[in-house]
Amino acid sequence: MFQTPIVWPNVILFILYHAIALQGWYYFITFQTNLRTIFWAFLILVLAGQGITSGVHRLWSHRSYKAKLPLRIFLCLCQTISFQNSIYEWARDHRAHHKFSDTDADPHNIKRGFFFAHMGWLLVRKHPQVKMKGQLIDLSDLENDPVVRFQKKYYHVLAPLCCFVVPTMVPWYFWKENFYVSFCVCMLRYLISLHFTWLVNSAAHLWGFKPYDRFIKPSENQIVAKLTMGEGWHNYHHTFPWDYKAAELDSYNGNLSTAFIDLMAKIGWAYDLKTVPLDVIRKRVLRTGQ
Ligand code: ST9
Ligand code: ZN
Ligand code: ZN
């Protein structure tokens, strides 16, 4: 039987992150932070979010649209700010998650429980099946993208710089925020973005409706959709992962990522946006829907 070896440095690091973020929360609710620091943190949260949703998720993991070089550079910068592993590693794990959903070869297999799917998978060694079956996934498109290659090569320097150093320094340098307060707020913003993202793997794999495929765990979770700028329509997304909207409906309704990609398409930086024809959706709903 597979024993899960715990990775103690990760456990300690995440406890430390949470302790510092809690101090950030305390400074926030006791009005000890400059309002500009909060706006700044919110801006970084949205940028990092776009790097995940429009960038590493919809573009690099699923190829649901194509992006010209300037957009790829911008999204790569945003994804680096998110400090959620390099584009290459994130997309590799995510493709494994879709191909081997809810099995031992899924890096955050929901069958191992809420905590494991949420963040526990980052605190232990991966199941051997993830590494073995993961070899079957084609990653040549990522290996051939110079933006992805550059980020992977310098990730260990770029990620701490973009996620912690610059976001902490700006409020301290430009509006004389207390340095430690700025650092705590930066850590709070980082942990909010991590937990919101992780909810897709935990909550949206447990709770919600299954209008498109009742045989899979991923579900339509409106709360997660709101928190993740449009990534909680997870029953639809696992049924039609190539749709750039990651949702059926055209209305944005909190799906800021779709609005962003549409805007990029208008200026010509995004193209070949893939969607699913309505009759294909209807047929699937009749065949496998709840
Ligand atoms: C983080 C990621 O948080 C979150 C991803 C969430 C995904 C959500 C998806 C939902 C959609 C979008 C949501 C939008 C939200 C928007 C929010 C808005 C505000 N295939 O990994 P290693 C092989 S990261 C094939 O070290 P260990 C490979 O050979 C948080 N092969 O495994 C590899 O070597 P190399 C910050 C694979 O040793 C070797 O195994 N980051 C695959 O078991 C070793 O790989 C951290 O905390 C595969 N899938 O360690 C870092 N995987 O890489 C945490 C592995 O050289 N990570 N191989 O090719 C770690 O410390 C370690 O990875 C570990 C496992 C301890 C977890
Ligand atoms: Zn999923
Ligand atoms: Zn996906």
- pLDDT tens for residues 41-80? 999 999 999 999 999 999 999 999 999 999 999 999 999 9
Q: For 204-216, what is each residue's pLDDT tens digit?
A: 999 999 999 999 9
Q: Residues with Cβ within 5 Å of ion ligand 2? A: 218
Q: Taking 90 as the threshold, does the pLDDT of residue 105 lie above it?
A: yes
4 lines ligand 1 (CB under 6 A): no
229 lines ligand 1 (CB under 6 A): yes
Instruction: Identify the residue whose C-alpha is closest to ligand 1 atom 44.
Output: 131
197 lines ligand 1 (CB under 6 A): yes
What's the CA-to-centroid distance between 224 and ligand 3, angstroms? 14
What's the CA-to-centroid distance between 61 and ligand 3, angstroms? 7
Mean pLDDT, the chain, integer: 96
Of the ligands numbered here, which is closest to the C-alpha atom of 242? 3
What's the CA-to-centroid distance between 75 and ligand 1, angstroms? 19
Instruction: Identify the residue whose C-alpha is closest to ligand 1 atom 50.
Output: 125
First to last CA, the chain: 35
Q: Which atom of ligand 1 is nearest to the CA of 194?
A: 3
Of the ligands numbered here, which is closest to the C-alpha atom of 61? 3
- Is residue 94 within 8 A of residue 238, CB to CB? The reply is no
How does residue 3 score in pLDDT terms, banded at 50, 70 and 90? confident
DSSP the chain: -----B-HHHHHHHHHHHHHHHHHHHHHHTT-S-HHHHHHHHHHHHHHHHIIIIIIIIIIIT--SEE-HHHHHHHHHHHHHHTSS-HHHHHHHHHHHHHTTTSTTSTT-GGG-HHHHHTGGGSBPPPHHHHHHHTTS--HHHHT-HHHHHHHHHHHHHHHIIIIIHHHHHHHHHH---HHHHHHHHHHHHHHHHHHHHHHHTGGGTSSB-SS-TTSS--B-HHHHHHTTS--BHHHHHHSTT-TTSSS-SS-TT-HHHHHHHHHHHTTSEE------HHHHHHHHHHH--
ipTM over 0.90: yes
Confidence (pLDDT) at 123: 98
96 lines ligand 1 (CB under 6 A): yes
How does residue 87 score in pLDDT terms, banded at 50, 70 and 90? very high
Q: What's the mean pLDDT in 165-188?
A: 98
Instruction: Identify the residue whose C-alpha is closest to ligand 1 atom 24.
Output: 84
What's the CA-to-centroid distance between 268 and ligand 1, angstroms? 32
Q: Provide the whole-model pTM.
A: 0.97
What's the CA-to-centroid distance between 88 and ligand 1, angstroms? 10
Percent of the chain with pLDDT over 70: 99
Q: Taking 90 as the threshold, does the pLDDT of residue 174 lie above it?
A: yes
Q: For 232-281, what is each residue's pLDDT tens digit?
A: 999 999 999 999 999 998 677 778 999 999 999 999 999 999 999 999 99
Which residue ranges make up each domain of the chain?
Answer: 8-205
How does residue 170 score in pLDDT terms, banded at 50, 70 and 90? very high
What's the CA-to-centroid distance between 22 and ligand 1, angstroms? 25
To test ligand 1's pocket by mutation, which of 17, 108, 122 has the most ligand atoms within 8 angstroms of CB? 122
Confidence (pLDDT) at 1: 62
